[in-house]
Amino acid sequence: MQDFLNGLMLLSNFLIVPATAYGSQLALGALGVTLVYGILRFSNFAHGDTMAFGTMVVILVTALFQKMGISIDPLPTALLAIPFGIAATTLMVLISDRLVYRHQRKVKAAPVVFLISSIGLMFVLNGLVRFVIGTGDQRFSDGERFIIRFGEFKELTGLDEGIAFKTSQGLTILTAIIVVAALFWFLERTRAGKSMRAYSDNEDLALLSGISPERVVMITWILSATLATIAGTLYGLDKGFKPFTYFQLLLPIFAAAIVGGLGNPLGAIAGGFVIAFSEVTVTYAYKKFLTYWVPESWAPEGLVQLLSTDYKFAVSFVILVLVLLFRPTGIFAGKSV
């Protein structure tokens, strides 16, 4: 029994808790991608760099607050800075929509032209972020680092293995729940949210019933910028901020959105967790865990790691391909334009 619990704790500490936090971050990112896809009907390649932009503003404001001595100890100061990040990112996204995408909407350009435009924007944002904050690692989490420490947990339960629950992980999961709840309340209950869903389902019908397309597009961008900033900041608090990493997040985020069904918000959340859990499960070394759960004589020699962590991209990719092959519209039926 003791061994069983020890094994369970080990698994929770290294697998379930990190994967849940990572899954929440991916889900928030994928929600932003999926909303833009549902309304504007293109895959926004600039989303990773929008996340980086938002996080950059949050980091700068956090540094300012720290200098001024403002803090909300034990919580990280970055939480105070998030509204500023959201405001700046929203402004940036709205300006870029005005300058880049609005013309393409006016001439009714093909979705792929929007996609190419978003690649241009990706370059600009990527350069801008590197220009302002550099390419190096930024750690900006302060306050209490752990909710439950490893040692405390062991003392509390008397087990050999414990769970170290980081504040950033707890915050990520909590924030994700609040944000997702608020988003769904917005989409289901408010007039603006309903008009968004109507527009996404049937553009012509929505236009006929007097929904202003420009307004819907604006709300979509605001939501996407908000989600991107929050997702980026949470990821940064958890794993540190580096512009290039955010660019690379594009792949798991898109994989999550497609696996869930592009354009479907619920699917994006499910997809985020599917990708995160498979990435972590496949790259986790099970050796120590197996020593608890199987008889001693069966104990394996190697690390019992299915795939080295360097190949975590491969996991998102394989899941993506499997879903595309066997269920091309995703787990929850998304759009297939």
Partner 1 sequence: MTITKQQAPLAFAFMALALVMVGVFQSWSLSLTILNYCLIASIMALGLNIQWGYAGLFNVGLMGFAALGGISAVLVSMKPVPEAWALGGAGIGLGVLVAVATIFLAVGAYHRLPKGYIRGWGMAVIVIGGYFAARYFFDPATNLIESVNPAQTGFLGGLGLPVLLSWVVGGVLAASVAWVIGKVTLGLRSDYLAIATLGISEIIIAVLKNEEWLTRGVKNVNGIPRPTPYEYDLQQLAWAQDWAAWFGADLQDFTSIYVKLCSAALALVMLGILYWLSQTAIKSPWGRMMRAIRDNETAAQAMGKNVTGRHLQVFILGSAVVGIAGAMMTSFDGQFTPTTYNPLRFTFLVWVMVIVGGSGNNLGSIVGGFLIWFFWVEAEPLGYALLSFLTSGLAEDSELRSHLLDSAAHMRLITMGLILLVTIRFRPRGLLPEQSQQTRSH
Binding site for partner 1 (CB under 8 A): 42-43, 99-100, 103-104, 109, 111-113, 115-117, 119-128, 130-132, 134, 247-248, 250-251, 254-255, 258, 262, 302, 308, 310-311, 313-314, 316-317, 320-321, 324-325, 328, 336-337
Q: Which is nearer to partner 1, 165 or 254 (CB)?
A: 254
Q: Which is nearer to partner 1, 122 or 230 (CB)?
A: 122
Q: Which is nearer to partner 1, 135 or 297 (CB)?
A: 135
Least distance from partner 1 to the Cβ atom of residue 269, Å = 19
164-168 contacts at long range (C-beta below 8 A, 24 or more positions apart) = 164/13, 165/17, 166/238, 167/74, 167/75, 167/76, 167/141, 167/143, 168/21, 168/76, 168/141, 168/234, 168/237, 168/238
Least distance from partner 1 to the Cβ atom of residue 17, Å = 26
Least distance from partner 1 to the Cβ atom of residue 271, Å = 12
Least distance from partner 1 to the Cβ atom of residue 59, Å = 15
Compute CA 185 distance to the chain's CA centroid, rounded to the nearest angstrom: 20
Least distance from partner 1 to the Cβ atom of residue 202, Å = 19
CA-CA distances (angstroms) from residue 297 to 12, 288, 293, 300, 301?
25, 14, 12, 9, 11
Q: Which is nearer to partner 1, 132 or 333 (CB)?
A: 132
Q: Which is nearer to partner 1, 83 or 134 (CB)?
A: 134
Q: Which is nearer to partner 1, 115 or 187 (CB)?
A: 115
Least distance from partner 1 to the Cβ atom of residue 325, Å = 7
